[in-house]
Amino acid sequence: MIYDYIIIGGGIIGLSTAWQLQQQQPRSSILLLEKESDFALHQTGRNSGVMHAGVYYAPGSLKAHFCREGVTATQDFCRRHRIPYQQCGKLLVATNSLEEERMVALLARCKQNRIDAVPLTQKQLKKREPNISGVGAIYVKATSIVDYQRVAQTMANEFRSMGGHYLLKHEVIGLSEEKEQVVVNTNHGIYHGRFLIACAGLMADRIARMLDLPIDFQIIPFRGEYYQLSARLNNLTQHLIYPIPDPNLPFLGVHLTRMIDGSITVGPNALLGWKREGYGQYNLDLKDSWEMLRFPGFWANLKK
Ligand SMILES: Cc1cc2nc3c(=O)[nH]c(=O)nc-3n(C[C@H](O)[C@H](O)[C@H](O)COP(=O)(O)OP(=O)(O)OC[C@H]3O[C@@H](n4cnc5c(N)ncnc54)[C@H](O)[C@@H]3O)c2cc1C
């Protein structure tokens, strides 16, 4: 059989693509292939569970647009499928005058992105979050938390109930393109599709290389670790607490995240891993190749 579409990857991108496509083209045959024994076992099931409002994104960009629409769409999806979520809101806290300046610029960006964001004085911040110190903050109301593994599993169920097919434990190991079809080789057999959609997350470059596509990117192994605070601290904060981002760093910064199960995590640190010979070596030896990157203050603060 030749499927109309074969989708690689059972994270949130692969599953939402499959689910949307099956709704738009109910007569199409769609097969989703996932290499793990369950969905969302990589980024999707290991993230912070935050539905972001889109504070950081350049006004007018697709990211800003999708993020604003995405919060509402995800909340609607959760309500329809009885998936618990909490609109706990987010505080971006400034701790010095430089961050205060950046905070003003960020507020202007929120306005341009049509995000409901309110400035808080030091006193108002203390009142909202007695355990957090800062000279001021931005309160973003729409930011919410959810269990993305549950969202992903529900999308998989919806996709299948509409006639979609998926196969777990099916790792794509080779691809070739013929005139009318793509041949997808897996560890459990060969599948044929008229179109292939790759949603392989951090394996994106490897999938592209299977087809010898001339790509201009490469995934660099990068690891961020979060710590869970002890359960007695579950009421330490009521909001998600983020720093005002430093434009010199490609991260949101170390943050306190309320999780939907009531726990609080703190992180991430940032570890970059590579083999001395250069990128492209994937058998990372954790002992000799992970290196600490930036955030020297993180460890010191955590010890305190
Ligand atoms: C630490 C961290 C925290 C984050 N926090 C948030 C957050 O709070 N909110 C937010 O919105 N975003 C967050 N993100 C980003 C978000 O999690 C990702 O953008 C999103 O999960 C990406 O989904 P995906 O489907 O592209 O990738 P993934 O979830 O990684 O899924 C890719 C899937 O493809 C499969 N696959 C790969 N290769 C093959 C193959 N050869 N054959 C078959 N299957 C294959 C994998 O097994 C995997 O299941 C965070 C990311 C990280 C890393």
Q: Pick the atom of ligand 1 nearest to 267's CA.
A: 1
Q: Are residues 136 and 230 in the same domain?
A: yes
Which strand (E) or helix (H) includes residue 177? strand 172-177
Q: Is 125 in the pocket of ligand 1 (CB under 6 A)?
A: no
Contact call for residues 53 and 67 (beta carbons, < 8 A):
yes
pLDDT digits (tens, 9 = 90+) for 32-73: 999 999 999 999 999 889 999 998 888 989 999 999 999 999
- Residue 255 in domain: yes
Q: Are residues 7 and 137 in the same domain?
A: no
Which residues have CB under 8 Å from 127's CB, separation 6+? none
- Residue 57 in domain: no
Q: Is 55 in the pocket of ligand 1 (CB under 6 A)?
A: no
Q: Is 10 in the pocket of ligand 1 (CB under 6 A)?
A: yes
- Residue 124 in domain: yes
Q: Is 243 in the pocket of ligand 1 (CB under 6 A)?
A: no
- If one residue of 33, 44, 187, 271 were mutated to test the ligand 1 pocket, choosing by the most ligand atoms within 8 A of its CB, it would be 44
pLDDT digits (tens, 9 = 90+) for 71-116: 999 999 999 999 999 999 999 999 999 999 999 999 999 999 999 9
List the one residue out of 153, 147, 124 whose CA is nearest residue 136: 124
What distance in Å separates the CA atoms of residue 177 and residue 168, rounded to the nearest whole number? Answer: 23
- Residue 279 in domain: no
- Residue 71 in domain: no
The alpha carbon of 232 and the centre of ligand 1 are apart by a number of angstroms equal to 31
DSSP alpha helix (H) spans, the chain = 12-24, 62-80, 97-112, 122-128, 148-161, 204-210, 286-289, 296-303
Number of alpha carbons in the 13 Å side-chain half-sphere of residue 236: 19
- Residue 111 in domain: yes
pLDDT digits (tens, 9 = 90+) for 219-277: 877 677 788 999 999 999 999 999 998 887 767 788 999 999 999 999 877 665 544 44
Q: Are residues 173 and 262 in the same domain?
A: no
Q: Pick the atom of ligand 1 nearest to 207's CA.
A: 41
- Residue 73 in domain: no
The alpha carbon of 137 and the centre of ligand 1 are apart by a number of angstroms equal to 30
Mean pLDDT of the chain, nearest integer: 88
pTM over 0.85: yes
Q: Could you give the number of structural domains in the chain? A: 2
Q: Are residues 135 and 228 in the same domain?
A: yes
What distance in Å separates the CA atoms of residue 251 and residue 295, rounded to the nearest whole number? Answer: 10
The domain in which residue 197 lies consists of: 2-46+149-210
The CATH number linked to 175 is 3.50.50.60
Q: Are residues 154 and 255 in the same domain?
A: no
Q: Are residues 238 and 136 in the same domain?
A: yes
Whole-Å CA distances, 191 to 34, 44, 172, 175, 179:
13, 26, 10, 10, 15
- Residue 126 in domain: yes
What distance in Å separates the CA atoms of residue 265 and residue 259, rounded to the nearest whole number? Answer: 7
The alpha carbon of 42 and the centre of ligand 1 are apart by a number of angstroms equal to 5
